[in-house]
Amino acid sequence: MSPSQHEQRTDRTAGTRPAPVRGPAPAERSGLLGVQSTLGNTAVLHLLRQAGHPYAGAGQGVAVQRFMEPHPSGELAAWRQRALDYTSANKARILGDYTRMVLGDGYAEADMKGVLKGLDALKAWQAVAKAVREGGAAVGPAVDPSLTTLVQKLNVMEEECATAAKAGEPADYANPLPESVVGTEFTFTDSRLNGTADGTPLRVDIGGLTGQEDARARAAITYARTRMDDWAARVRAAALPAGFALAVSDTTVKGQHAKRFTYTNGSTDWWWEITMDDACLETRSDPTPVAGLHAAHVRFIMRSHIFPLAAASGLHVDQSILGGGGHLSLDSATTFGGSVELFVQSMREWETQWEDWVARFGSAPREKDVVNAPWTGDLPQGETHLNGVRALLDEILADAHRGDVDLPGAIGRLQAHMRTLPLHQNATQNLRNKVADHPEDRLHYQAVNLEHMADANEAHRRVEFRDIQAQDGYEQLIEDLRYIGSMLQGVRDNVRADQQTRLAQRHP
């Protein structure tokens, strides 16, 4: 029995009754009737829920659809029914959220009508509502243009709300994007792992190898495991963050043996792994908000268990392009919030300012990686290809402002375009052969990798910044994230300013 149930039962036993649920006051009821006649029943319910009226019921705890394709496709009657169902179920919620974003709390019926007029959506809203009331032939092909317009306008409102929510988050210019979730990769090597000692670097995929080549590759894997086990033993013996316990477990990553280290303190936990990668051992860490990387236990683990104990095991950081890299990933939801505009303008920034990136991350002892992580502008005929990316970003943003595309749709178009780009002229023949056999892999070999932005699991959608060589310690990681965060915070500031101008013009 929940506490609330217990309290109700106690009150009734004592001879009291719960207060009756009452509807709105007469003056409020008159205003709601006006909303009902103009905007429909669902708009009334949305207003009542926002005002806290219990008789309106609670919103359903189910996934909310944030976009619908506005243009008829396939069997028209089926599309029409989907559009009618979608608008009926979502239009009041979307309009309420958008109105509150534009005007703040306490809006009234006249405000909602004014918002729809500002969007040039009122006629379509009323035409669809009228067709639904009349039924029959009224919900036939004649309503399709109004349905398309209404769905577009609902999509626009959703996009504007997503943009305002993410771009409007409080800015922390000292440690930008504190809520963005980060995935890290630290890499470590030695002369055996990178092959300089015996000519056989560590290789994680040994399928198809035979004879002596297979034997040498397996020996390299065995050696890598000894280095991993040595490192793990040192972690087990090391002092722990205050109050934390450590569990070490065996796992498998990329088909090879790996070690996971999980630290717990009550409800707080954090993990990292040692895995094998080509020519190096690589660590992966628990995806963590930028602010969380400043937590005392995370800082302690990186400073005490990862970098120094790798060195104690005979491994070192190689900051050349042969060293394995220090790739950083940013989670899509916490960084872009579903906003097409925020993502498009972020991509425009990193693509256009690629030479600044190279100056920051490609200076000695680090190098720019034109083989595995080239920038569009640095490809053969780079300016032409960069202009092509810019033009596509312009098209996508215009479509988003019309309500014709959401973020997954935008990502699909960008991925299709990026797959057509050539490799850098310095790409190895092995890489050229691999991409020729698997064209989808071209996405991976780009300075900013978008391949995971379309992952079926939304929680795994992320951008990966690949033109970053290995970090030499915790401090350099924080510096790297500060640079990326500052760039993207600047984009947020500009997007927010652009949006405020746009909204002011739309709703003077």
Name the phi and psi angles at 294, rounded to 5: -90, -5
| Residue that wins the pLDDT comparison between 43 and 249 | 249
Whether 63 has a pLDDT exceeding 80, the answer reads no
Q: What's the mean pLDDT in 260-280?
A: 97
CB 370 within 8 A of CB 347: no
- For 95-137, how does the pLDDT look when each residue is reduced to its tens digit (9 = 90+)? 999 999 999 988 888 899 999 999 999 999 999 999 999 999 8
The answer to whether residue 5 scores a pLDDT higher than 60 is: no
- Residue 321: its pLDDT value, please? 86
DSSP state of 415: H
Average of pLDDT values for 481-491?
97
* E strand map for 173-253: 181-188, 245-253
Nearest to 341 by CA among 90, 165, 483, 103: 165
58: pLDDT strictly greater than 70 = no
Cβ-proximal residues to 203 (8 Å cutoff; 6+ apart), any chain: 217, 220, 221, 278
Residue 27 pLDDT more than 80?
Answer: no
As a whole-number percent, the residues of the chain with pLDDT over 90 amount to: 83
pLDDT at 17 (0 to 100): 29
Report, as an integer, the average pLDDT of 269-291. Answer: 97
Rounded to whole angstroms, the Cα distance separating 134 from 194 reads 74
35 has a pLDDT exceeding 70: no
Q: Where are the alpha helices (DSSP H) in 255-362?
A: 296-301, 307-312, 332-336, 340-352, 354-361
Q: Is the pLDDT of residue 93 over 50?
A: yes
- What is the mean predicted confidence (pLDDT) over 376-399? 97
Which of 43-52, 69-78, 171-180 is least confident? 43-52
Kindly report the average pLDDT of the chain as a whole number: 89
Segment 216-261, tens digit of pLDDT:
999 999 999 999 999 999 999 999 999 999 999 999 999 999 999 9
- pLDDT tens readout for residues 323-368: 888 999 999 999 999 999 999 999 999 999 999 999 999 999 999 9
Tell me the C-alpha to C-alpha distance, in Å, between residue 366 and each of 196, 317, 325. 19, 11, 10
Q: What is the mean pLDDT of residues 174-195?
A: 96
pLDDT of the residue at 33: 43
Q: Which of 166, 163, 158 is nearest to 334 (CA)?
A: 166
Looking up tokens 């070490």 gives 248
Q: What is the pTM of this model?
A: 0.85
Q: Containing H/E element for 258?
A: strand 256-265
User: What confidence score (pLDDT) does residue 31 get?
Assistant: 43
Q: How confident is the model at residue 279 (pLDDT cuts 50, 70, 90)?
A: very high
- 187-217: pLDDT as tens digits: 999 999 999 999 999 999 998 899 999 999 9
Nearest to 112 by CA among 125, 123, 99: 99
Burial bucket for residue 433 (CB in 10 Å: 0-12, 13-18, 19+): exposed
Query: pLDDT tens, 126-174?
Result: 999 999 999 998 899 999 999 999 999 999 999 999 999 999 999 999 9
Confirm if 203 and 289 have CB atoms less than 8 A apart: no
- Using pLDDT thresholds of 50, 70 and 90, give the confidence band for residue 46: very low
In this model, does residue 42 exceed pLDDT 50? no
Spatial contact of 272 and 286, defined as CB atoms under 8 Å apart: yes
Helices vs strands, H then E, count in the chain? 17, 9
* pLDDT at residue 60 in the model: 42
Higher pLDDT, 331 or 15: 331
Q: How far apart are CA 97 and CA 120, in angstroms?
A: 17
* Distance (Å, whole) CA 333 – CA 166: 9
